[in-house]
Structure 1
Amino acid sequence: MLKSNYQKIYSGNQFDVKAIVEKLHSINIEGVVKDESESGRLAGFASAIPGEQDLYVHNDEVEKALELIKSHFKK
């Protein structure tokens, strides 16, 4: 198995993920979004219900990203 330099920090709906990604960009962290339902749709396996998206960041940025997520949901 390949070792990844990225760690999943959040799973949720597309709206929360997009908001978090925008906040990550504001502190110069690049998030990677993985959307299994969109991947399936593009491969020809249509899905009427959008699934959760997974958000990954580089291992060096996990702590800062998790702090940002905590503050995002304190509202």
Structure 2
Amino acid sequence: MTSNYKKIFTGDSLKAKLLVARLHEIGIEAVVKDEAESARLAGFASSMLGQVDVYVHKDEEEKALTVIY
């Protein structure tokens, strides 16, 4: 299965929220994958507390990386 999204960040949720806000300012909608929150909502425990992944559409990856670096 191929995906049209590329992971550009893995780290704590606060930094991810700041990154997503900066991406939104330049017109990029990011997808945040939070395994710990998903597990909590499903009634399970997770050892990945606070770690989230941020994805952007692969066509916007290069533009998005300028926000990070």
Deviations 1:18-71 (A, max 9, x none): 00000000000000000000010011013587231000000000001111011x
RMSD of aligned C-alpha atoms? 1.5
Match of 1:50 in 2: 49
Q: Give the structure-2-normalised TM-score.
A: 0.92
| Structure 2 residue 12 is matched with structure 1 residue 13 | yes
Structure possessing the higher radius of gyration over alpha carbons = 1
Aligned to 1:64: 63
Partner of 1:22: 21
TM-score by length of 1: 0.85
- Which runs of 5 or more structure 2 residues have no equivalent in the other structure? none
Q: Percent identity between the aligned chains?
A: 57
Aligned length: 69
Structure 1 49/7 Cα, relative in aligned 2: closer, same or farther at 3 Å?
Answer: closer
Q: Which segment is superposed worse, 44-53 or 6-15?
A: 44-53
Q: Distance in 2 between matches of 1:69 and 1:29?
A: 13
Runs in 1 of length 4+ with deviation above 3 angstroms?
A: 46-49
Check the 8 A contact 2:33/2:52 in 1, yes or no.
yes
Q: Which 5+ residue runs of structure 1 have no aligned equivalent? A: 71-75
